Chains A and B, each alone.
Chain A
């Protein structure tokens, strides 16, 4: 169950980490769903054409980045409403991919690539002697380790570099940053591009693992990634925990179907119920923290 949870969380973690950059820069990237779709499509096409999974992942990242550039053009350059632009990007991806697919392959349905290499599993056979640790860390798809790796990278980039400091400042106090001579717009663009690249990687991770592309392959993971950003206190470590929570609850719901006599449809609601509880708990804790801070500010 833990093993499956880690595999399930991977695309959510990738997309959410990227989305965090945009979020901290003051842009709510609701186009993540469409960016994942674009990455999944481009990733598997390039992977199948080149016979290389690395090329597939890079193509997924590139496609996500390009679509994110479209998003920045309209939302940041032309100052279009960010929600409408994000939704438009989602619709653009969902609508244009079947068109391209029909043009290239004569179908807008399932695209199979039987000769595509399988995603390698790393650290297979390695054991710590503790089942939980083994399931968490060893024998997973290569993309799982990529996602693990991006957590400390995001942490360092956001909290240990001048770039990260400025990017967070753009999101927190844009006026102060502009007075200090920082190009806030450029930082926002870069942040959205990073989120596009990460979402593209998430999409490629999904399609390359399956070896197929099919409509709606993202299946709402972009939206879940957005929730994970907030659930994770807008921090890479928090996002990792939130993504793991999503993965674990989904894995638990799947496994419970085989163990309990409760109807599967009821158990399928479990991840969402846990998400609601987690969000309420998060809001309550945050409100309590804010109240405490205000009290300290007022009295000391």
Chain B
């Protein structure tokens, strides 16, 4: 075993000290870059901060959020946009939002998540002049907030109805008896009180004897565990699974590919994830909502203190029926029946109200 002499250790410490000193010297040099960004923001006619509760890359929802806000900014010269990623630790979001509001640099903070209205309301107590646009959540009555909630009851119902149509069709992996699965990353109020019952209602609209196999992954990332849960659902007779489990979705695809079954995507078109396996996908036009409401805010026309619910009839919630893979893999009859149901929802023949209190 080699032992170092005191002189050698001394040299190592000197080297370590030099590196630390260099870092300390470099820190102030890096500071102006951050300050510069802030100055740019404050010099703009209208400055918007997009607070992403997570990370943008790999999240279609947040990519749409950022794209919508940027599109609005491009249409109104003099508008600056800065994107701040809050990371996956939900406990840090209130502090991050507070820090953001405390800068007083932004005319509007845009964010999206069901938990964000309460966080924004809390921050608004300390910074009442700060305005927030929160999508995918609902809270009316706070003069600092404008919230947009999407009708997930209609969305989940459409998923369930389509799952029922696929399961009772003559498609390759459809099995006798209508049994469909729903895998959720976590249980949360909208999942338990809106999505799950509406999905089941959709299934039972096709066959009243339909059975829903509901499972919870317990997190939003464990794809290997999601594979085993999906395997268990498929072994129990399910032939279609709606997956709302973040990274776990990939595990559901893996199981469906191995055992021969179909997967439904939620919120954003997922057909390209696994052609022929991801057979249907509802969509929420969050980018369009972010674009329109940011424009309203820039133009001073957004009625802060109120909220709205957007659904199929408004064109913000739907089913991606125009995708080439959907047309290729789904039989004409199933497509026609789904279109008929979408039309009923759009025309108001079938009304599925979205609750705003959970």
Which residues from chain A sit less than 8 Å from chain B, CB to CB? 1, 4, 7-8, 11, 102, 107-110, 112, 114, 118, 178, 183-185, 206, 209-212, 214-217, 219, 221, 250-251, 254-255, 257-258, 263-265, 268
Contact assessment for A183 and B58 in the assembled complex, using a CB-CB cutoff below 8 Å: no
**Interface size (B, Cβ < 8 Å)?**
34
Q: Residue B228 contacts which of A4, A178, A211, A264 (CB distance < 8 angstroms)?
A: A4
Let me know if B187 is at the binding interface, CB within 8 A: yes
Contact assessment for B228 and A254 in the assembled complex, using a CB-CB cutoff below 8 Å: yes
Give the 4 A-B CB pairs with smallest separation, nearest first: A109-B58, A264-B216, A219-B222, A268-B218
Given contacts A8-B228, A108-B57, contact A210 B215 (CB under 8 A): no
Contact assessment for B224 and A206 in the assembled complex, using a CB-CB cutoff below 8 Å: yes
B211-266: which have CB < 8 Å to A? 213-216, 218-219, 221-225, 227-229, 231-233, 236, 247, 250-251, 254, 257-258
- Which residues of chain B come closer than 8 Å to A265, judged between CB atoms? 186-187, 216, 218
Would you give the shortest CB distance from B94 to chain A, in whole angstroms?
A: 23
Let me know if B1 is at the binding interface, CB within 8 A: yes
Let me know if B55 is at the binding interface, CB within 8 A: yes
24 contacts across the A-B interface (CB closer than 8 A): A4-B228, A8-B224, A8-B225, A107-B57, A109-B59, A110-B58, A114-B274, A118-B258, A206-B224, A209-B224, A210-B223, A210-B224, A212-B223, A214-B58, A215-B247, A216-B222, A219-B222, A219-B223, A251-B232, A254-B215, A255-B232, A263-B216, A264-B215, A268-B218
Contact assessment for A258 and B228 in the assembled complex, using a CB-CB cutoff below 8 Å: no
Contact assessment for B254 and A211 in the assembled complex, using a CB-CB cutoff below 8 Å: yes
B23-68: which have CB < 8 Å to A? 55, 57-59
Would you give the shortest CB distance from B80 to chain A, in whole angstroms?
A: 25
Given contacts A4-B228, A214-B221, A258-B215, contact A184 B1 (CB under 8 A): yes
In this complex, what residue of B is CB-closest to A108?
B57
Q: Give Cα A214–Cα B247 distance, bound, in whole angstroms.
A: 7
Q: Residue A258 contacts which of B213, B222, B225, B247 (CB distance < 8 angstroms)?
A: B213
Q: Give Cα A258–Cα B57 distance, bound, in whole angstroms.
A: 33
Q: Give Cα A216–Cα B89 distance, bound, in whole angstroms.
A: 14
Q: Give Cα A114–Cα B277 distance, bound, in whole angstroms.
A: 12
In this complex, what residue of B is CB-closest to A263?
B187
Q: Give Cα A221–Cα B231 distance, bound, in whole angstroms.
A: 20
- Which residues of chain A come closer than 8 Å to B122, judged between CB atoms? none
Let me know if B273 is at the binding interface, CB within 8 A: yes
Q: Give Cα A184–Cα B224 distance, bound, in whole angstroms.
A: 38
Given contacts A110-B58, A209-B227, A210-B223, contact A257 B216 (CB under 8 A): yes
- Which residues of chain A come closer than 8 Å to B231, judged between CB atoms? 4
Contact assessment for A209 and B254 in the assembled complex, using a CB-CB cutoff below 8 Å: yes
- Which residues of chain B come closer than 8 Å to A219, judged between CB atoms? 219, 221-225
Contact assessment for B250 and A254 in the assembled complex, using a CB-CB cutoff below 8 Å: no
- Which residues of chain B come closer than 8 Å to A251, judged between CB atoms? 228, 232
Would you give the shortest CB distance from A275 to chain B, in whole angstroms?
A: 15
Q: Give Cα A108–Cα B233 distance, bound, in whole angstroms.
A: 30
Contact assessment for B224 and A109 in the assembled complex, using a CB-CB cutoff below 8 Å: no
Q: Give Cα A54–Cα B143 distance, bound, in whole angstroms.
A: 61
Q: Give Cα A206–Cα B221 distance, bound, in whole angstroms.
A: 13
